Structure 1
Amino acid sequence: MQMRCKQVSGRAMLAAATAVIAVASSDAAFAQSNDSQASEGSDSERIVVIGSRRTDRSVTDSASPVDVISATEIQQQPAANMLDVVKNVVPSFFVPQNTISDASTFVRAPSLRGLPADNILVMLNGKRFNRSALVQVYTGGDTALSFGSQGADISSIPAIGVGNLQVLRDGATAQYGSDAIGGVLNYGLRKDTGFEAQALYGQNYDNGGDGETWQLSGYGGFALGDRGFISIAGEYYDTKGTSRGVTRPSAINFANQFPNLADQLPNYPGPVQIWGTSPSDGWKLVVNSEYDFSPQATFYLFGNFAASDADQSFNYREAVTTSAVRFNGTSSSTGTLSANSAFRHPIYLTPCPASNATCPSGGWVKDSNVFNFSELYPAGFTPRFVGETDQAIGVIGVKGEMDSGFTYDLSGSLARQSLALSMYNSLAPSYGPDTQTEFEFGKLIQRELNLNLDMTYALEIGLDSPLTLSAGAEFRREEYEATEGDPQSYGAGPYAVQNLYLQTSPGVYAFDSTVTMPPAASGYGGTSPTFAGKSSEKSYGFYVGLEGDLSERFSMGIAGRYEHYENFGSTTVGKINARYELTDSLAIRATAGTGFHAPSPGQNNVQVLTTTFIQGNQVQVGTYPVTSDISQFYGATTLGPEESTNFGAGFVFDPGNGFTLTVDGYSIKVTDRIGISQNFTVSAQDLADLPSLAGVGQGGSVQYFTNGFDTKTQGVDIVGSYRTDLAGGSLNLTLAYNYNKSKVTDFDPGVIGPTQLIDIKYLAPNHRANLAANWSSGSWAVNLRESYYGEWRDSNDYPIREGNVSSGAIIDGQRFGAKFITDLDVSYTFNDTYTLTVGANNLFNTYPDKIKATVNNPIYDLTGSISNGSIYPRPGGPFGLNGGFWYARLRVKI
């Protein structure tokens, strides 16, 4: 207790010392600090290129709220994944850790302002970045805010190649097309010349120092005479896994009952299943180039290429049924820990004799000729799920400005991302003794072609500034493909349903019972030939805009866009914004607009088979295309677009003494949001009526995509910064605060359940803030950031019910308390070339609250965990469950 008090006190002192000076300043992410392309405070770092077609807008005089995150701030983060980098510095950006969440562990889905990943448009040098190959169909708190989405995978972008990140916190569909409902992330790639290399090593504090991370990155920028440049940046990383759970109580029971088999438990002597970050490695590369052919024509070429490999622990499959004492929050009782369905009865290998009237063809004799999966896995098994991601996007174009002031930008891009899924240490129960233990599930592939033309022209009509007339056109083709998996990965084998007969006398048999084994591989299902193949969507659009200063103090902009999609028709959206300077240092601004998100070919055509457990029973859950006979059997209809209305208003205070402050409120309504239907349980009659349901099997369930609910999101962003001198050095103080709350305003009960209603509102903290200080003097630099994460809930994984556990209504989710996280690093530069940094993220080793004992999730006395061995919430919450991480980085810049 004394040690904990010291930690809290130390953290509070650090925060208070910063707060005294910062008062109402903003987050370090938004400080205009040094980066690779511009010197501190230079205008080039403050110019924004999103949210406007004008080229003279800065952060503080933009009509829409835009944050510019410098290269320095991005590279200061020790995270190997860009998702975690952005999460650390943008308060309204949320992404869970995803400990065990099927393919969603390999492609994590973020949320901006509480909206799903495909409501965030990601751009690279102002051009649309491709979607990931994964449609988020995993059901759990890990994906609750992006359930059903197919967004971009920014983890493929290396931090060392980014010149800055511009975050448009405003709806921008009228300007950029589908998906920009919640905002835009635009990564500007580096253009500077020179060489830079970085090496980072770090590890977590706990579990003997797990999570060991190596990161090697390099950058080279070359001038092409005085006409252009080419830059290349790359990164290699290798991150070991972490473990923050304990072994299952059932595994302890097994070791006690069968000590001679204890060493055959998975991961022995560690936990039989791992709750933590999955080990991964990979490389990332970006290329950026421009060349001036003439004063009116600049050729450009850039791209992003990456590959990653991750290995995830799945749930442990018990070989025997045991029991243990558990506490449900009010009382203790003995709970049954059931064996996995593959071990509950043997596979009977003797077929009915040919031409026997009492033992029909297709039946099996119940005798001693059997196979048990304990012969293969005596102590049970824990499948390992592997995801291999490959990413490639290339953009080519030409842009220029004529003497008349007319500008043009003509570009084309090709992109492809694939996710290959496989598994080892598993089995296909319905194939009995012929089962595989390793499976290839096939590849998910997303391909995109984009053609763009953007034009502007400055109209001189005697106003305070020229009016910028903008217009453009876009053609886009998306293609989604799923390739076939191993037959056993999706099929129902010969032992899926066994009608058993007992011999009552020689040659005479009597029906005894029917036993079943789940189809497909245990843990996941591959793509069957029925659903393998390609689907595509073509669209085209046109936009027009007009913006400028109508007077010395008043500027205004308007934009409209028309798009047509071959699969669902046309839509027209618009946006208007304005900014008025009340004084030289104070301005008000406001925006209003409509937007949309078009359903992707992946959402229309995804087929995924996953495994879940209900009271220890392994159950297959199939997500099927809305056009399939399976989905239509249960009432599926064609998907339509999501539509939105955005409003925002705020003020900018810039007195010119190194202090800036922006406050922006917003309201976003989204109708016909795309979600996934309720689970429809497959009955014996369903199976007889529709044989294609065999891949799910009797007792399994079916779900599909549908437009099923409306949401309203409201919030406020406070962002500011302050620069001053202190102790012979330069001090930058920043604070960013976000309040955000979403709620479901209308819904189809067949699509949205009570857990989703709660999680959409509370899974991400409603309150989030970053308070930071950066001090530098000569060769020394110190960075301190204090992050605040408000209370959050997870109703999907940890529901609280009223009444009986099986029939009581879900009234809430467990509340996980607010936390402060402190990050600190110190750097020293010597010989003007080498910089050594030592630091720690989560300096005081803070964890989320532990899972509380409830009727749904009782805590077992043997382990102090719930039945699956987890102690902390499985999504990791807003800052993860790995605790503190220390690191050292060496940077060499020439």
Structure 2
Amino acid sequence: MKTHKLISALAMTVSTTALFVAAANPAFAQDSAPQDAAAEEATGLDAIIVTGTRRTDRTVADSTVPVDIISADALLNSGQTETNKLLNQLVPSFNFPQPSLTDGTDSLRPATLRGLAPDQVLVLINGKRRHQSALVNLNGSVGRGSTAVDLNTIPPLAIERLEVLRDGAASQYGSDAIAGVINVQLKKGMGGRAQATFGKYITKMEDVGQVDTVALTTTNLTINPATNAITGGDNPAITYTGEDRKRRDGDTYTFASNFGLPLGQSGYVNLTAEYKDRSPTNRSGPDIRRNYFAAGDPREATFNRYAHRYGDGVSKDLNFFVNAGYEFSDTAEFYTFGSYGVRDGNGAGFYRRSADARNRDFAASTTAFVPIYADGFLPLIASKIVDISAAAGLRGTTGGWDYDLSAVYGSNRLDYTIENTVNTSLGGIASARRFDSGGLRSGQTSINLDMRRDLDIGIGKSVSFAFGGEYRNENYKIVAGELQSYVNGPFSAAPFNAAGGAQVFPGFRPANETDVSRDSFAGYAEVDADLTDQLTLQLAGRYEHFSDFGDTINGKAAARYEVIDGVALRGSVSTGFRAPSLAQQSYAATSTNNVGGVLIEIGTFPVSSPVAIALGAQPLKPEKSVNLGAGVTFTPISGLSITADYYNIQINDRITLTENLQGTDVLALLTSAGVTGVSSARFFINGIDTKTTGLDIVASYRVPEFGLGQFRVSVGYNLNDTKITDRRVFSGFTAQRLFARQESYRLTDGQPKNKLNVGLDWDYDNFGMTLRTNRYGEVFLPSGFTTVTGTNPTSDITKAPGTVPGDIFLSPKWVTDLEFRFKPVESVSVAFGANNLLDTYPDRLPFGTVNGVNYGFNNAFLPYSSQSPFGFSGRFVYGRVSIDF
């Protein structure tokens, strides 16, 4: 609590100081205005791009591959202050679901590009590789099994512009750039802005009823003395008010300031500070199950039926960014940039009811049911994430060559504290209620040398030649938690069979601890030539050697041909790769998962462990891709641009996390290896080959002024389809058992197959408006439930969508955002608006027995799918005050 107060005070001090500077220096505010206009122009067709080419004069209009530029204004004209959510609004092929009840993923949510995995898109800051997070997404979310870059550590106010390269670029940048590249260009101009934003959700949960009365239970639960299993009993009868549940929550305060200062006569330093405080949201429906053991317990009528917390967790973020440079001469400039971020968050697990076996105090009685928490408990996963990055370099010209020598370090640290919980196997008296469950560490150091020059070889109008090399070192660690967080206590053995470790997230064990590193060396060459006024050709090749799996060579060819003035064709072919992350090779843990409505303990084992090897695991190989692209660009009139690009991405040896392998054979192997308290195992494999095809259409139009101000219209459309083309089998495990129907369709159909976004920006004197609407296409949720007759075809990978009882299709939805702005004085801007203005929700999930399918009761209190591409929080209303200086 003291830490949060200190952070709040610090953020308020930064913002207040900036506001004071702005008020005291009106001339300074006037000086910054021309730069804003220049930044706006820099996002048009004539904008120079620095992503996808190493030429210094390539524009958006002349690029051989599709590159989108997103301006600072587009990022700031919204109530969202998370960079991932903003990209979800602005880029049609970008997807950012917001899952809940997924352990650490609640605090560090992954995003995807072109329907591929979060770790198949490369993120750059000022053209330099950004480090990945330490978190491995394991539990039931899009991007399961991947690690990702945490874009939400980057304050929108620090960004000058974003360049999104929608094409394979591994031959230019190395591992991960299969789906494309997101390059974040930081601000370096003078002047600045301070702003404060407040918003909250004001919403009505669609098709989720408000409880009116609850009747008492009438029959007893029973305990089997041989197994201690709890069975029988009835659920209370519940009546509803007839009104949907209303929520007023998720209060979010964001204070941010950015300012740039001159550094002598030839330098600059630009600083950004942001503090964000987000309260939790709760979109749970009523829990219609009984809570108490004894029949007729009067507390059943007054118990809070919304005791689950399903939605956004608590998040308190503090992020600093610096971007600086100094030009010593016409031929040498020193530059540096870096960041420091800390996030204190927590997410909730499943509510353990009073009568839940996981809440039973065996130390109090081994025959009668005695609860540890009288009313049950909601376990919380508190996470502290510390993210650090620092870069420095020297660039300039020498002997006719442009050079850039740089070093970049980045690290991400994630520590878990499990609160309001218990280690049931120790008994209620002996067990703590708060546990240090250990944590994860990842680090990356890169050293790059890039050389470029223009060549006069008698071919073409202009030829740019670049070459360079990279050394990269990566490190990954797992740190064990305290003893009580993972230990199997005396009541874990038969006949009690109590779950060991901290409920919801058992701590990392000493046997899970790891400290692994690897090195890689790379060399590349690139030619980018304007052969004629109409024809541009780009060639690139890259060799890379990794200390853990060897060599890879990749290449790319791309071309653009202007058929007539304003109409051009472009295409590309490239190979690519993604190295298996150290986390995928080395991660080991035990966690509690909800599988088909049942909580089970699952062990995740590294591929080098005896358990994984006995199950058939092999050393991971890099994923390999072939990318094909073809497109057309139209610029028929001034201010209008239309591009359409087809893509075909084939990935071999794609790395996946196996299913939760269960059965007597798996249990026997776990027991023989001394692994107790775990009933299921999983590990990473090069499990599948996939093919992703799609179409991106992007159009923008700056309407000529006609007396009512400036209008800018943008339209983006993405059509995407992913298929699994091959599957691996080994050691007696069938393809179906290794990667079954639910995970297969989560990968291929768990994201929208189409997405449309439309934006309108209007500015007139001191007034402005931004209107955005996104249509998210259908999402498929494969059945995980059984029919009334008990048959269970839900794991059969041969069953097409919609052919298994219990299959669910989330219908397409429109989500609209609206913001109004006005300037009472020149340097002050006031904005108010709403994200998800029309309060749109994903479809309500069925529960109980519907049309012969038993969906269980979990969907009663988890009413919306975590795979909803726009979340499930409802309308967010906000206001913002900004001061330019």
TM-score, structure 1 length as denominator? 0.85
SS in 1 for 2:119: helix
Are the aligned partners of 2:596 and 2:785 in contact in 1 as well (CA < 8 Å)?
A: no
Superposition map of 1:789-808 within 5 A = 789-795=776-782, 804-807=790-793
Partner of residue 521 from structure 1, selected from 476, 494, 502 = 502
Does the C-alpha gap of structure 1 residues 469 and 689 become closer, same or farther in structure 2, counting only changes over 3 Å? closer
Superposition map of 1:342-491 within 5 A = 342-343=359-360, 347=362, 374=371, 376-402=372-398, 404-432=399-427, 433-491=429-487
Are the aligned partners of 2:785 and 2:792 in contact in 1 as well (CA < 8 Å)?
A: no
Residue 224 of structure 2 aligns with which residue? none
| Structure 1 residue 537 displacement after superposition | 1.4
| Structure 1 residue 226 displacement after superposition | 3.0
Partner of residue 843 from structure 1, selected from 832, 837, 859 = 837
Distance in 2 between the 1:211 and 1:183 partners? Answer: 33
Partner of residue 184 from structure 1, selected from 173, 176, 181 = 181
| Structure 1 residue 95 displacement after superposition | 1.7
Q: Which stretch shows the higher mean deviation, 244-253 or 757-766?
A: 244-253
The answer to whether 1:170 aligns with 2:167 is yes
Partner of residue 201 from structure 1, selected from 198, 206, 209 = 198
Distance in 2 between the 1:858 and 1:737 partners? Answer: 38
| Structure 1 residue 38 displacement after superposition | 2.2
| Structure 1 residue 615 displacement after superposition | 7.2
Q: Which stretch shows the higher mean deviation, 608-617 or 563-572?
A: 608-617
Residue 237 of structure 1 aligns with which residue? 276
> Structure 2: any 5+ residue segments left out of the alignment?
1-32, 204-245, 729-734, 802-806
| Structure 1 residue 185 displacement after superposition | 0.3
Q: How many residues align?
A: 793
Does the C-alpha gap of structure 1 residues 43 and 160 become closer, same or farther in structure 2, counting only changes over 3 Å? closer
Does the C-alpha gap of structure 1 residues 606 and 728 become closer, same or farther in structure 2, counting only changes over 3 Å? same
Amino acid at match of 2:743: Q
Residue 227 of structure 2 aligns with which residue? none
The answer to whether 1:893 aligns with 2:879 is no
SS in 1 for 2:382: strand
Distance in 2 between the 1:214 and 1:82 partners? Answer: 16
Q: Which stretch shows the higher mean deviation, 442-451 or 243-252?
A: 243-252
The answer to whether 1:831 aligns with 2:848 is no
| Structure 1 residue 250 displacement after superposition | 1.9
| 1:857-886, Cα deviation, whole Å (9 max, x unpaired) | 9999xxx99435435323150111111111
Amino acid at match of 1:781: G
Residue 24 of structure 1 aligns with which residue? none
Are the aligned partners of 1:803 and 1:809 in contact in 2 as well (CA < 8 Å)?
A: no
Distance in 2 between the 1:696 and 1:370 partners? Answer: 22
Are the aligned partners of 1:578 and 1:589 in contact in 2 as well (CA < 8 Å)?
A: yes
Considering Cα pairs closer than 8 Å and 6+ residues apart, tell me whether 1 or 2 has the greater RCO: 1
> Structure 1: any 5+ residue segments left out of the alignment?
1-32, 321-338, 350-367, 499-513
Q: Which stretch shows the higher mean deviation, 195-204 or 458-467?
A: 458-467
SS in 1 for 2:444: strand
The answer to whether 1:294 aligns with 2:329 is yes
Are the aligned partners of 2:514 and 2:586 in contact in 1 as well (CA < 8 Å)?
A: no
Are the aligned partners of 1:37 and 1:163 in contact in 2 as well (CA < 8 Å)?
A: no
| Structure 1 residue 818 displacement after superposition | 0.9
Residue 115 of structure 2 aligns with which residue? 114
Distance in 2 between the 1:319 and 1:718 partners? Answer: 54
Are the aligned partners of 1:463 and 1:551 in contact in 2 as well (CA < 8 Å)?
A: no
| Structure 1 residue 854 displacement after superposition | 6.9
| Structure 1 residue 793 displacement after superposition | 1.4
| Structure 1 residue 173 displacement after superposition | 0.0
SS in 1 for 2:510: coil
Partner of residue 819 from structure 1, selected from 789, 796, 813 = 813
The answer to whether 1:757 aligns with 2:757 is no
The answer to whether 1:704 aligns with 2:683 is yes
Distance in 2 between the 1:186 and 1:38 partners? Answer: 19
Residue 50 of structure 2 aligns with which residue? 49
The answer to whether 1:548 aligns with 2:554 is no
Residue 511 of structure 1 aligns with which residue? none
| 1:4-51, Cα deviation, whole Å (9 max, x unpaired) | xxxxxxxxxxxxxxxxxxxxxxxxxxxxx9984724335787211000
The answer to whether 1:786 aligns with 2:809 is no
| 1:277-304, Cα deviation, whole Å (9 max, x unpaired) | 1121111111000101121110000012
Residue 720 of structure 2 aligns with which residue? 740
| Structure 1 residue 734 displacement after superposition | 0.9
Does the C-alpha gap of structure 1 residues 634 and 696 become closer, same or farther in structure 2, counting only changes over 3 Å? farther
| Structure 1 residue 689 displacement after superposition | 7.3
| Structure 1 residue 644 displacement after superposition | 0.2
Superposition map of 1:610-621 within 5 A = 610-613=591-594, 618-621=599-602
SS in 1 for 2:38: coil
Distance in 2 between the 1:801 and 1:753 partners? Answer: 18
Distance in 2 between the 1:824 and 1:840 partners? Answer: 6
| Structure 1 residue 453 displacement after superposition | 0.6
| 1:586-645, Cα deviation, whole Å (9 max, x unpaired) | 110001000000011111000121112457754210111111122112221111100000
Distance in 2 between the 1:819 and 1:836 partners? Answer: 30
Residue 72 of structure 1 aligns with which residue? 73
Does the C-alpha gap of structure 1 residues 407 and 695 become closer, same or farther in structure 2, counting only changes over 3 Å? farther
Partner of residue 606 from structure 2, selected from 625, 634, 643 = 625
Partner of residue 601 from structure 1, selected from 577, 582, 600 = 582
Distance in 1 between the 2:392 and 2:479 partners? Answer: 29
Instruction: Provide the alpha-carbon RMSD of the alignment.
Output: 2.5
Partner of residue 223 from structure 1, selected from 262, 278, 282 = 262
Distance in 1 between the 2:623 and 2:200 partners? Answer: 43
| 1:83-134, Cα deviation, whole Å (9 max, x unpaired) | 1111111111112111111111111111110100110100000000000011
SS in 2 for 1:160: helix
| Structure 1 residue 405 displacement after superposition | 3.3
| 1:409-430, Cα deviation, whole Å (9 max, x unpaired) | 0000111101111111111122
| 1:312-366, Cα deviation, whole Å (9 max, x unpaired) | 111011232xxxxxxxxxxxxxxxxxx33443xx6268xxxxxxxxxxxxxxxxx
Amino acid at match of 1:456: R
Amino acid at match of 1:157: I
Distance in 2 between the 1:482 and 1:732 partners? Answer: 49
Does the C-alpha gap of structure 1 residues 646 and 857 become closer, same or farther in structure 2, counting only changes over 3 Å? farther
Distance in 1 between the 2:597 and 2:628 partners? Answer: 48
Are the aligned partners of 1:575 and 1:594 in contact in 2 as well (CA < 8 Å)?
A: yes
SS in 2 for 1:250: coil
| Structure 1 residue 230 displacement after superposition | 0.3
Distance in 1 between the 2:786 and 2:85 partners? Answer: 30
Superposition map of 1:307-326 within 5 A = 307-320=342-355
| Structure 1 residue 559 displacement after superposition | 0.4
Amino acid at match of 1:827: R
| Structure 1 residue 760 displacement after superposition | 2.1
Residue 874 of structure 1 aligns with which residue? 865
| Structure 1 residue 891 displacement after superposition | 0.6
SS in 2 for 1:53: coil
Residue 715 of structure 1 aligns with which residue? 694
Are the aligned partners of 1:805 and 1:856 in contact in 2 as well (CA < 8 Å)?
A: no
| Structure 1 residue 434 displacement after superposition | 1.4
Are the aligned partners of 2:308 and 2:861 in contact in 1 as well (CA < 8 Å)?
A: no
Are the aligned partners of 2:282 and 2:312 in contact in 1 as well (CA < 8 Å)?
A: yes
Distance in 1 between the 2:851 and 2:845 partners? Answer: 8
Distance in 1 between the 2:648 and 2:285 partners? Answer: 43
Residue 4 of structure 1 aligns with which residue? none
Are the aligned partners of 1:255 and 1:262 in contact in 2 as well (CA < 8 Å)?
A: no
Are the aligned partners of 1:66 and 1:168 in contact in 2 as well (CA < 8 Å)?
A: yes
Superposition map of 1:562-711 within 5 A = 562-613=543-594, 618-681=599-662, 683=664, 686=667, 690=671, 692-697=673-678, 700-711=679-690
